[in-house]
Chain A
Amino acid sequence: EVQLVESGGGLVQPGRSLRLSCAASAFTFDDYAMYWVRQAPGRGLEWVSSIDWNGGSIAYADSVKGRFAISRDNAKNSQYLQMNSLRAEDTALYYCVKGRGPYFDHYGMDVWGRGTPVTVSS
């Protein structure tokens, strides 16, 4: 069964940094694009970032561009989200999501992890 396990969330002060990790299993990781999607408390879903199968193409939501950096290590079946200059509005549950193909345009998502919570507060 495909499994995605996020880690690295927690309570952090505004302006500080946090690095999220996602460990994938039970599928050929480097065949698929990966995504990060977040959900603020009591709110809907917001796409954050995408990375294609080999990291050659990356995209960010405007709300995080210049502050967040997505990456992946295919040898470790893992993806990461480096979050810098965190703001209160970044508070959310961050989901790691598997793509349905090697690229993110024209493919979409399928399996989601359980999420890791990030709280930005002083």
Chain B
Amino acid sequence: IVMTQSPLSLPVTPGEPASISCRSSQSLLHSNGNNYLDWYLQKPGQSPQLLIYLGSNRASGVPDRFSGSGSGTDFTLKISRVEAEDVGIYYCVHALKNPFTFGPGTKVDIK
């Protein structure tokens, strides 16, 4: 399964919304109704942290300004109001079956 993201670079203004798209070459929708797509943020100098799992579920401790949506092959991560601490590289990854492939990453920084 090939994962693509767009854009690859996203300059943002604090307080403004931001959106990242992730597409998979095969459907990530399982017959159980789950979309096996996760989102991670890797802040500068840190390990990746889970933001969204199964397409739309916020991980524990993740601010509600982050939301995930989509189904099948098209997914979106939205930040309702960007804060300075949200800079870093955002990765989508599928969890359907091995091999587990990550998207190339979207670098978000402040304008």
Stretch from B11-19, B46-54, B63-71, B77-85 that touches the partner? B46-54
Q: Which residue in B34, B42, B47, B101 is a CB contact (below 8 Å) of A47?
A: B101
Stretch from A7-15, A17-25, A76-84, A106-114 that touches the partner? A106-114
Q: Which residue in A35, A44, A105, A114 is a CB contact (below 8 Å) of B97?
A: A105
Shortest Cβ distance from A93 into B: residue: B47
Shortest Cβ distance from B59 into A: residue: A110
Interface residues on A, range: 20 to 34
CB distance from A64 to the nearest CB of B (A): 11
Residue A61 at the B interface, CB < 8 A? yes
Number of interface residues of B (CB under 8 A): 28
Q: Which residue in B53, B96, B97 is a CB contact (below 8 Å) of A110?
A: B53
Q: Is the CB of A46 within 8 A of B47?
A: no
Residue A87 at the B interface, CB < 8 A? no
CB distance from A91 to the nearest CB of B (A): 18
Q: Which B residues are CB-close (under 8 A) to A107?
A: 95
CB distance from B14 to the nearest CB of A (A): 26
13 pairs, CB–CB < 8 Å, chain A vs chain B: A45-B48, A45-B93, A47-B100, A47-B101, A61-B99, A106-B30, A106-B36, A108-B53, A109-B50, A110-B59, A113-B47, A114-B47, A115-B47
